[in-house]
Amino acid sequence: MSDGPLILGIETSCDETGVAVVAGLDVRSSVLASQTEEHARFGGVVPEVAARAHVEAIRPLVHEAVRQAGIHPGDIDAIAATQGPGLVGSLVVGYAFAKSLAWSLRKPFIGVDHMEGHLFAPRLEHAGYHPPAVVLLASGGHSQIVHVRGWGDYDVLGSTIDDAAGEAFDKLARFMGLGYPGGPAIDRASDGGDPAAIAFPRALRDRPFDVSFSGLKTSVTTFLEKAKAAGDVPPLPDVAASLQEAIVDALVEKTFNAVRETGARVVAGGGGVLANRRLRQRLAEEADAHDVELYLPSPALCTDNGAMIAAAANFWFDAGRETPWRSDVEPGLKLG
């Protein structure tokens, strides 16, 4: 069943090579080459390692996505790739590959904003998700609260003034020796823990939509160093649940401030941090309390993937966008 243009989406902004074939909003195939293991021993993403891994992964992955979708390359209506924001060396690999493929197949090429991809991701599973909406975007590189007035019409209401939420999870997990990536590690470590065991501070209470996590990092590390010196370190699940609660509290509070401010009746989320179980639970509770609809992608569509790039390109294809061949990646691209 084909209910829209057939789009090949390529995502290479950071450390995941993602390729997908999407027909309308129907995901025909979505494949991923994750570099987590290559970066784990460095405790974070190393740009040169990432770019090289994309170069190795991209060709076989595009073949695999086309094969799994059961299509011929000639059936594709448009080819899309992430233009930015992201690591320049990583972006270039997917962007140049997509442009040359589109050129050789004589198909339109569409450059997509990575964050806009995250905004569209919930549509792949929830046909009822439409703007106006407030969308929480939280990943390793970004934390933003966006008012989606319409597709293509975005107002970034708030962002982090220092570390992104995922970065805070990653740095704290590294300090606690839990490995990389830190978000899933803390999520798991929090099992059975008491989120109220330790009262870590909540920053920027006086600003309605912005968040800040660098103070939390200092407060957790200082707390743990003192506790260790005193020989009185609380159980790991309590520490993990408490610091997770501080991050989740900030994200949920600011998201629903935006809901009250804009009057939006729809809330959605995207980015790796939205895979966090406690965050999903708290957003669901708050959505219930505010009587708004909540659309969260399943965890595999929260983290970076090619399908979300194709989903955003699907909108721009219908709007007639063709990104010029001479265009280049934009590592500092800003939404709206």
What is the contact surface with ligand KG4 in residues (CB under 6 A)?
14, 139-141, 166, 169-170, 181-184, 187, 271-273, 275-276, 303-304
We find the least distance from the C-beta atom of residue 88 to ligand KG4, in angstroms, to be: 15
d(CA 258, CA 149): 13
**Between 139 and 242, CB nearer to ligand KG4:** 139
**Between 18 and 131, CB nearer to ligand KG4:** 18
- Of 196, 189, 140, the residue nearest 169 (C-alpha): 140
**Between 111 and 271, CB nearer to ligand KG4:** 271
Interface mask (CB under 5 A) for Zn ion, residues 255-294, using x and -? ----------------------------------------
**Between 9 and 183, CB nearer to ligand KG4:** 183
- Of 194, 197, 172, the residue nearest 183 (C-alpha): 172
Strand pairing of 16-23 and 26-34?
antiparallel
Map residue 149 onto helix, strand or coil: strand
238 interface partner picked from Zn ion, ligand KG4, none, CB below 5 to 8 A per type: none
- Of 28, 23, 73, 83, the residue nearest 321 (C-alpha): 83
Beta-carbon contacts of residue 263 (< 8 Å; ≥ 6 apart) = none
Helix (H) / strand (E) element for 119: namely helix 114-120
**Between 47 and 208, CB nearer to ligand KG4:** 47
- Of 5, 6, 57, 56, the residue nearest 31 (C-alpha): 57
Map residue 261 onto helix, strand or coil: helix
We find the least distance from the C-beta atom of residue 115 to Zn ion, in angstroms, to be: 7
We find the least distance from the C-beta atom of residue 244 to ligand KG4, in angstroms, to be: 8
Ordered DSSP codes for 62-96: HHHHHHHHT--GGG--EEEEEEESS-HHHHHHHHH
Binding region for Zn ion (CB under 5 A) out of 127-135, 177-185, 228-236, 303-311: 303-311
**Between 111 and 270, CB nearer to ligand KG4:** 270
We find the least distance from the C-beta atom of residue 185 to ligand KG4, in angstroms, to be: 8
Amino acid of residue 48:
E
Using CB under 5 A, which of 304, 316, 329, 335 touches Zn ion? Answer: 304
We find the least distance from the C-beta atom of residue 221 to Zn ion, in angstroms, to be: 26
Determine the Cα angle at 109 with ends 75 and 143, to 5°. Answer: 115
CA neighbours closer than 13 Å in the CB half-sphere of residue 70: 5
Binding region for Zn ion (CB under 5 A) out of 134-142, 169-177, 232-240, 255-263: 134-142
We find the least distance from the C-beta atom of residue 214 to ligand KG4, in angstroms, to be: 15
303 interface partner picked from Zn ion, ligand KG4, none, CB below 5 to 8 A per type: ligand KG4
**Between 243 and 258, CB nearer to ligand KG4:** 243
Sheet harboring 266-270: ordered strands across? 153-159, 143-150, 133-138, 266-270, 293-295
187 interface partner picked from Zn ion, ligand KG4, none, CB below 5 to 8 A per type: ligand KG4
Tell me: does residue 139 bind Zn ion (CB under 5 A): yes
Residues of this chain that interact with Zn ion (CB under 5 A) are 139, 304
